[in-house]
Chain A
Amino acid sequence: MAAPVIETHGLSKIYGNAPMIREPVLREIDFRLLPGHGAFVIGGNGAGKSTLISILAGLCAPSAGVALVFGQDTRSLAARYRKRIGMMTHQSMLYPNLSARENLEFYAALYALPDPAAAAAGWLERVGLEAVADVRVRAFSRGMEQRLAAARAMIAEPALLLLDEPFAALDAESAAMVAGLIRAAVMRGATAMLTAHAAAEIEGVSFDLFELSSGRLLPAKEETFKEETRRGRLRSLLGR
């Protein structure tokens, strides 16, 4: 069996200094994700999804336990491993005063791609933003920004995708586009971990389903998943 891309043992996270310790955000999470697989984590607001993603990306340290990505402790990820991770969060990590093209070219250079300009141009096309390539991101709509953020996350063809609510507040067309990018990535062998309030279906990709509640990560039951999906569809119909 191949080594897991993500592995956590007893992963816990609590915020606050004594005496103001708050409730644990993550509790004793034991989790594995094998290469080429996908994981979908559902949870409500404040359930800890973003925290989990941050820890796995190496941006935040656990309070207890250990998180391993590519077999490396996330607290000290070497550059060559960080190169293989692509992340999307609530914040787009795009410079508002740079154009879409400049943003992508910058990230391509940051990830040491051999031809940043070509990579940027290619991805702009893939996310349907070639028409606004030289417009500053400040002027973008939410959907456009998120599509660009997806391009930014995937421009270096990462082996691991960590996507925190990638479809949140997206119009149907942008959501479909992002879903398509995720599918394409998984098809070429990437491992993906997504979080969301409600599950979404991505055609052609099967995800292991999890629920994050009270700090524990547990496999979600099929019924819960369907229920969440139904609620999710309802919500997007209602524009929420």
Chain B
Amino acid sequence: MGALAAMMRKDLRLELRSGRSTIALVALSLLIMVVLVFALGASATRRVDSAAGALWVALIFSGMLGATRALNSESENGCIRGLLLSPLDPAAIFVAKLGASFIFMAIAEAAAVLLAILFFNLDVGAGIARLAGVMLLGALGFAALATLLAAISERTRAGDLMLPLLAVPMFVPALIAGVKASSLTLSGAPPGAISQWIRILAAFDVLFVTAGYLLFEHVVGEDQD
């Protein structure tokens, strides 16, 4: 759909010009990894599941940041009203914002994975490619969840607190599955063991992308009651 493509192009352009560059993103991932390494202790760096856990913590933080930023681009000059007034389907706004958050998270996660390889002495190989796949699945689900909830928390008092309060409990199943899948991938487990976790991640993604798509129109409007 032409309007959706225009939305995504516009969001991409705005993101590139926002002045808050990729460097800040990478820095955030670095800091999270550093904190976790020191918090978990040096012996943790020898364990693959610590690496997996650290990566997913980084994913959650960058996800919350990404979703709120994606939505904030509409708050200046009342641009969101321009979108709501137009013939654009509100669900298309969801898709565009989801896409923007997802790209943001993917970049942050790429940085985190590189740092994890370094800090946790991970084997670079086919496992990393599969790990990237798992992380992307997780990023998609969290981006969908966070985009939907950020539209709510944006309009709520203590919104910065509200988003993690709502998002984290709902993300638990994907977090469990994602960390397990990541950890198993990194330790070279056979695909059979990993597939059940992947299935959970996939189900989560389908649920939240669909739910977000259908429900976004109810959370994005102004005073509609």
Contacts and interface: CB of A to CB of B under 8 A. Distances in A.
B221 interface: yes
A90 B78 CA distance: 9
B78 A106 contact: no
B83 interface: yes
Interface stretch (A4-12, A26-34, A37-45, A51-59): A51-59
Contacts of B224: 60-61, 75
Given A98-B13, A109-B3, A93 B82 contact: yes
B223 A79 contact: no
B77 A93 contact: yes
B85 A85 contact: yes
A84 B89 CA distance: 15
A197 B76 CA distance: 25
B3 A93 contact: no
Contact of A91 (B6, B78, B89): B78
State the main secondary structure of chain A at its contact with B. loop
Contacts of A110: 3, 6-7, 83, 86-88
Interface in A102-160: 102, 105-107, 109-112, 116, 152
Contacts of B225: 61
A233 interface: no
A110 B5 CA distance: 9
A188 interface: no
What's the interface size class on A, roughly? 20 to 34
A82 B86 contact: yes
B94 to A, nearest CB: 15
A82 B225 CA distance: 19
B223 to A, nearest CB: 5
Given A60-B223, A95-B10, A98-B10, A112 B87 contact: yes
A94 B85 contact: no
A93 B87 contact: no
Given A82-B85, A92-B78, A97-B14, 15 more contacts: A57-B85, A59-B222, A60-B222, A90-B78, A91-B78, A93-B79, A95-B79, A96-B76, A96-B77, A97-B18, A98-B10, A98-B14, A107-B82, A112-B2, A112-B3
Interface of B: 2-3, 5-7, 10, 13-14, 17-18, 73, 76-79, 81-89, 221-225
Interface of A: 54, 57-61, 75, 79-80, 82-83, 85, 87, 89-98, 102, 105-107, 109-112, 116, 152
